[in-house]
A and B are shown apart, each in its own frame.
Chain A
C-alpha cells in the first residue's frame, strides 16, 4: 500500500512536470497555418459540425456555408440583396409566365473534369420533387415537368404562373452532378460523405468530425478572377462558443468568423489593427407574431395595443446598440421596391394602449395595475441573445400598459416544436432569410400554411384571396401594387409587430486576407461561393 501511494505521488509529479513542460516547449504551432502566395489557406470559424453533406437535403445554416462553396446555384444574392447570375447567365418567362427558362453558362466544370450541363439541373430538380427533399421541394410545387433541350437551357413548366418562381428556385436550389448522384439510389438516404465532386470554387477534401473541414480549390471556376480562386485551401474549424471563436481570431488561429459578431461584443476587436469588421444587412427581421387562436389575441384592438406596448426604439438603442433599422410594415426595407413607405409604425404609447384596451371592454377590477384575465406568454428561442433581451424588455414595457406577459424563452428545439404545434400566445423570433416578398407573404399568411411558418395560424379568406391574386400577377407594376396593399392590410390588422432589421458584422483578419464580397444575412455573409472565389491573400 505504501509503495503504491509513493508511485502515485511520483506519477502525479511526473504528469504535472510533463504538462508544465509542454507549456514551455511549444509555443510556435498555432499561429503558423497560412502563408502567402499560391498556397494560402483561409481558415474560417464555424459553430458546429456539418450534419448533412447532401446539398439537396440539408437545411442547416452552417452546412450551407460549406456546401454552397461546392455546389453551384443558378442565381446568387449580391451585396445589394438583388439576384445576380451564377450558373445561369439569365432567365426569362414564356407562355404567359407558365414556363421559366434558364440559360446556363458553358464554362462551369465538375472537379472530375465533366462540364456542368442542363441535365444536371434537371436531375437536381426532379430528385428534389421525387424525394421531397429540403425546403426547395415546396418551391417546386407548381412544376409539372422539367426540360433540358440543349446543354445550356433548362425549362420549368408550371401549372400556373408564379411571379417569383425563377428567383426562388434559382437562389435556393443546389445543382448536383447527375453522373455521381444518379448511382447513389435513394437520394433521401444518400449521405454524400466522401469522394466529393463539386463545381463551386472549392470542394471538400477531408472532414474530421468535431474539428475541421478542409476544402481544396477547384482549378476551373469561371466566377473567380483568373479562372480559379486565389486561395488554395479553405479550412473550416469548429468553435461552439462564440467567445472562443473570437479569441481564436485574435490569436491568429482563424482568419474569418463565419458567425456574425454579437453586437455587444464588437468592442472585443477595438484596438486590434489586424481585425476588421464588415457590415451587412439582413434578409429577415425580428418580429412579434400573435396566435389568432387565442381568444384575446384574435381581437385586432388587443394586437394593436400590444404593438403600442413595445418600445422598439429603446430596444434598437440598447440591445442592438443602434445598429438596426426599425420596421413599419411586414416587408423588409431591403426590398425597397415593395416596401410600403406610407405605413407608420405603431408608436410606443402605453397610455394609448391602455385606452384602447379599456375601449375594447377590458377592466382592471382588482386594481393590481393589470387588466383582468389579460395575460400572455411570449415564446422565444433562448439561444438567440438579442431576442431574449427583446422579450425581457417587452415584458417590462407591457407592464406599463397593464398587460401581463410571461417570459417563455426555452431551449431552441422545444421552442420550434411549440411554434409548430401552435402552443404559444405570442411568438418572438427572427425570420432568417426571405429572398423575395411574395414567398414571404405566402409562407406566413396563407391558411394552407405551405411553409409551416404561418405563426399567426391565420385562416383568413380575405388574405388568401389577396395573396393568391398577387402570386398569379405577371405584370410587374401591378404585382408591386398588390404586395404593397397586402402590407397595408397586415399592418392595420397588426397580425404581427415587425421590430427591426439588424445589421450583421463579420470579423476577419485584414492583415492576411482581403477582397471578401459580403452578401446580406448571416446565412450568406462573407462565405458565399462567390465571396470565397474573390478573396486574395494580402501581400
Chain B
C-alpha cells in the first residue's frame, strides 16, 4: 500500500512538472508578446526593447525556463506583466471565488447525480428511469453560455429574483453578507450544475445497468440476494469506479465552464482571469493559473486512484 501511494505521488509530481513545462513553451509559441497590446499608443522600437528587457523576455528561452522553475520551487510564481504585482497575490484574490463556484457546483452535481443514477438504474426502463434519463440527457445537451445568458435575462433580469452579476453586495455585513454571497452564487452554479449533472448521472446509470447484467450479479441473484441489496452492495460498488473517474475529470471541465460562466455573470474567479490573461498575453498569470488548476486536478485524480484501488479488490495494491 505504502509503495502504491508513493508511486502515485511520484506520478503526480511528474505530471505537474510536465504540465508546467508544456505550458511554459506553449505560451511562448503564441504570436505576440505583452508589448503588442500597447500598440494603441505610440511606441518606438527602443521602448519596446526596454519593455521586453524589463520582463526578461529578451533572454534565451531555456534560460527563462530554468529561472522560472527555480523561482517556482521557492513558491514564487513571478510578477504579472500587466499588473506589476506578484502572480501569487493575484491568484489568491481569484482562486477562492472559482473554488467556491466550481466546488459548490461539483458537490451539488455528485450529491444529486448519484441518487438519480442509482434510482434510474433500479427502475430500469420504467417511468422514473425514462424521466430521469430525459432530464440527464437534456442537461448534457445544454451549451453553458446559452444557459447562462438565458438564466441571466429571464430569471435574473425579467423575474428579478437574482442579482445581475457580481459575487457579493459589498455593502452587506455579517449574516447578510453570507446571504448575499449565496444569492449571487445561485445562477452561476445553476448554469454549471444543469450542464454537468446530465452526463454524470447518465454514466453512473449506464455503468450500473452494465454491472447489473454481469455474471456475478446473476450469481448473486441465484444465491437469493434481494434486488435492492444486490444493487447497492455489488453493483454500485463496481459502477462507482467510472463514476469516481468522472469526478476527477469533471474538475477540468468545470474550469472550462467557469471561463464562460464567470464572464457572463461578471463573477471574479480565475476562469475570467485566464480569459483576460490570454488576451493580454500575461504569461506569468496564465502560467500560474494553469499550474494551480493543474495541481488541483492532478491531486484530485490521485485521490480518485487511491479510492479506486481501495474499492476494487481486484486491483493489486
Asked if A469 CB lies within 8 Å of chain B CBs, one says no
Contact among B33, B90, B94, B164 with A248 in the assembled complex (CB-CB below 8 Å) = B164
Residue numbers in A under 8 Å from B64 (CB-CB) = none
Contact B111 A135 (CB under 8 A): no
B40 within 8 A of A: yes
Range of interface residues on chain A? 35 or more
Report whether B186 and A253 are in contact in the complex, using a CB–CB cutoff of 8 Å. no
List residues 203-249 of chain B with CB under 8 A from any CB of chain A. 232-233, 236-237
Would B94 and A135 count as touching, CB distance under 8 A?
no
Q: Which residues on the A side are within 8 Å of B36 (C-beta)?
A: 413, 416-417, 420
A-B contact pairs, 8 of them (CB 8 A): A2-B232, A8-B114, A12-B115, A18-B182, A29-B163, A29-B172, A241-B263, A413-B37
Q: Choose from B42, B162, B233, B280 the contact partner of A138 (Cβ within 8 Å).
A: B42
For A223-262 the 0/1 string (1 means CB < 8 A from B) is 0000000000000011111011101101101000000000
Is the pair B163, A240 in contact by a Cβ cutoff of 8 Å? no
Distance from A30 Cβ to chain B, minimum over Cβ atoms (Å): 5
B171 interface residue (CB < 8 Å to A): yes
Assembled-state Cα–Cα distance A48/B187 (Å): 21
| CB of A253, distance to nearest CB on chain B (Å) | 6
Closest chain A residue, CB of each to CB of B163 = A30
- By beta carbon, the residue of chain A nearest B109 is A12
What is A's interface to B at a CB cutoff of 8 Å? 1-2, 5, 8-9, 11-12, 15-16, 18-19, 22-23, 25-27, 29-30, 32-33, 48-49, 51-52, 54, 59, 61, 131-132, 134-139, 188-191, 193, 208-212, 237-241, 243-245, 247-248, 250-251, 253, 411-414, 416-420, 432, 443, 450-453
A residues less than 8 Å from B13 (CB atoms)? none
In angstroms, Cα B90 to Cα A321, docked, is 41
Q: Out of B43, B82, B165, B232, which one reaches A1, CB within 8 Å?
A: B232
Q: Which residues of B contact A413 (CB under 8 A)?
A: 31-32, 36-37, 278-281
- A300–B83 CA distance with the chains assembled, in angstroms: 44
Taken together as a complex, chains A and B put the C-alpha atoms of A256 and B40 apart, in Å, by: 25
A250 with B157: CB separation less than 8 A:
yes
In residues 18-41 of chain B, which contact A (Cβ within 8 Å)?
31-33, 36-41
In the bound complex, do residue B93 and residue A132 qualify as a contact, i.e. CB atoms below 8 Å apart? no
Given A51-B280, A132-B47, answer yes or no on A210-B272 (Cβ-Cβ < 8 Å). Answer: yes
Residues of chain B within 8 A (CB-CB) of A135 are 38, 40-43
In the complex, are the beta carbons of B54 and A189 less than 8 A apart?
Answer: yes
Contact A8 B115 (CB under 8 A): yes
Which residues of A sit under 8 angstroms from B128, Cβ to Cβ? none
Q: Is B77 an interface residue (CB 8 A)?
A: no
Contact with A along B158-171 (1 / 0, CB 8 A): 00111111111111
Within 8 A of A (CB), among B254-305: 263-269, 272-273, 275-276, 278-281
**Residue ranges of B at the interface with A (Cβ–Cβ < 8 Å):** 31-33, 36-48, 50, 54, 82-85, 90, 93-94, 97, 104, 107-108, 110-112, 114-115, 118, 149, 152-153, 156-157, 160-172, 176, 179-180, 182-183, 185-186, 189, 232-233, 236-237, 263-269, 272-273, 275-276, 278-281
Q: Quick one: which of A52, A414, A417 has the most chain B CB within 10 A?
A: A417
Complex CA gap A191/B112 in Å reads 46
Are A411 and B272 in contact (CB-based, < 8 A)? no
Whether A417 lies near B163 (C-beta < 8 A) is no
Q: Once the chains bind, are A247 and B279 in contact (CB under 8 Å)?
A: no
Assess the A247–B112 pair: CB atoms within 8 A. no
User: A52 to B83, Cβ gap below 8 A?
Assistant: yes
B95 shortest CB reach to chain A, Å:
11
Partner of B152, one of A1, A8, A244: A244
Instruction: Report A224 CB to chain B, min CB distance, Å.
Output: 25
Kindly report which residue of chain A lies nearest to residue B35, judged by CB atoms: A420
Given contacts A237-B166, A253-B163, A418-B31, contact A59 B111 (CB under 8 A): no
Closest to A212 in B: B170
Contact A210 B42 (CB under 8 A): no
Instruction: Tell which of A49, A59, A189, A450 touches B38, judged by Cβ atoms closer than 8 Å.
Output: A59
Tell which of B149, B168, B233, B263 touches A240, judged by Cβ atoms closer than 8 Å: B263
- Which of A54, A61, A189, A414 has most chain B Cβ within 10 Å? A414
Decide if A29 touches B169 in the complex (CB within 8 Å): yes
Residue contact B41 to A134, C-beta cutoff 8 Å: yes
Output the least CB separation between A150 and chain B (Å).
Answer: 31
Contact A416 to B273, CB < 8 A, known contacts A12-B112, A15-B111, A134-B41:
no
A23-B268 CB under 8 A given contacts A30-B164, A413-B37: no
Q: Which residues of A contact B237 (CB under 8 A)?
A: 1
In the complex, are the beta carbons of B152 and A132 less than 8 A apart?
no
Are A5 and B46 touching (Cβ within 8 A)? no
Instruction: Tell me the bound Cα distance from A456 to B273 in angstroms.
Output: 35
Contact B164 A11 (CB under 8 A): no
Given contacts A26-B179, A210-B269, contact A52 B167 (CB under 8 A): no
User: What separation, in Å, do the CA atoms of A33 and B167 have in the docked complex?
Assistant: 15
Bound form: Cα–Cα A188–B53 in Å = 11
In the complex, besides A211-B166, A413-B31, 14 extra interface pairs with C-beta distance below 8 angstroms are: A2-B232, A9-B111, A11-B107, A15-B107, A19-B182, A23-B162, A27-B161, A29-B180, A29-B183, A135-B43, A137-B44, A190-B84, A208-B170, A240-B276
In the complex, A420→B44 CA distance in Å?
12
CB distance from A15 to the nearest CB of B (A): 6
Q: Knowing A209-B90, A251-B157 are in contact, say whether A9-B280 is a contact too (CB < 8 A).
A: no
B263 touches A451 (CB 8 A): no
Q: Which residues of B contact A52 (CB under 8 A)?
A: 82-84
Q: Which residues of B contact A209 (CB under 8 A)?
A: 90, 93-94, 268
List of B residues within 8 angstroms of A61 by Cβ: 40
A66 vs B111: C-alpha distance in the bound complex, in angstroms? 44
How far apart sit A2 and B122, CA to CA, in the bound complex (Å)? 14
Please name the residue on chain A nearest to B48 by beta carbon: A452
Q: Which B residues lie within 8 Å of A210 (CB)? A: 93-94, 97, 167, 267-269, 272-273
A residues in contact with B161, CB < 8 Å? 23, 27
Contacts of B42 in A (CB 8 A): 135, 137-139, 443, 450-453
List chain B residues, Cβ under 8 A from A15.
Answer: 104, 107-108, 111
Which of B85, B97, B149 gathers most chain A CB within 10 Å?
B85
Q: Is the CB of B166 within 8 A of A452?
A: no
Contact of A247 among B83, B97, B164, B170 (CB under 8 A): B164
A253 to B162, CA, bound (A): 12
A418 to B107, CA, bound (A): 44
CA distance in complex: A135, B38 (Å): 8
Contact assessment for B93 and A26 in the assembled complex, using a CB-CB cutoff below 8 Å: no
Top 4 nearest A-B pairs (CB, nearest first) are A135-B41, A210-B268, A417-B32, A451-B42
Shortest distance from the beta carbon of B240 to any chain A beta carbon, whole Å: 9
Report the nearest A residue to B38, measured CB to CB.
A59
Indicate which residue in A5, A32, A414, A418 contacts B114 across the interface (CB closer than 8 Å): A5
A188 touches B54 (CB 8 A): yes
Residue from A25, A134, A138, A209 having most chain B Cβ neighbours under 10 A: A209
Query: Cβ of B31: which chain A residues have Cβ within 8 Å of it?
Result: 413-414, 417-418
Q: Given A209-B90, A238-B268, decide whether A247 and B166 contact each other with a Cβ distance below 8 A.
A: no
Bound: A19/B105 CA distance, A = 12
- Chain A residues near B37 (CB, 8 Å)? 59, 413, 416
Complex CA distance for A233 and B189, rounded to whole angstroms: 32
- When distances are taken between beta carbons in the complex, the residues of chain B under 8 Å from A22 are 179, 182-183, 186
* A247 and B182 form a contact (CB under 8 A): no
> For B266, what are the chain A residues with a Cβ–Cβ distance below 8 Å?
237-241, 244-245, 248
CA distance A61 to B156 in the complex (A): 29
